[in-house]
Amino acid sequence: MDTKTDFQRFGAAVAAWVTERTGEPIPASACAETLSTAEAIITACRVPVLIPDLWPVSRLEMLYVPPEGTPAGPAITASFSGEVSRAVLRSIGRAVRAEFDNTGTDMLRLELDNGAALFLHSPEVRDTVTEAAGVTLLSE
């Protein structure tokens, strides 16, 4: 069974979801390319990664946790051919923030095809999210 994400279909679904929550139409093709490229970049990481300002306007952070059993080490060498659209990321961030505000939630957990986990969350719950994910962040 093929479990690879169909980014054309996924991009179209995310674009529709964003438009529904924000009223901002985004091109499905740009959404698909952004999601595909972003997944390729982040899944090259072999350790947990927190990106605190991925969505500064929406005040959202992202924590990536690689699949269980991934040996620690430098990022996997990979070639990235797509483009990550800042406009698409901003629109996704606004839609996630709108969803959080409408539902009273402050965290969303997504599982990627490779078993990795993505946590999109408000900065205020970072400690709770990292604890739930079993991650200790190194700080200054």
- Dihedral angle over CA of 72, 119, 34, 21, nearest 10: 180
pLDDT tens across 46-90, in order? Answer: 889 898 888 878 999 999 999 988 887 766 666 667 788 999 999
Residue 88 or 140, more confident:
88
114-137 average pLDDT score: 92
Mean of the per-residue pLDDT values of the chain:
87
Q: What is the pLDDT confidence band of residue 39, given thresholds at 50, 70 and 90? A: confident
pTM summary value:
0.83
Domain spans in the chain, listed from the N-terminal domain onward: 7-133
Length of the chain: 140
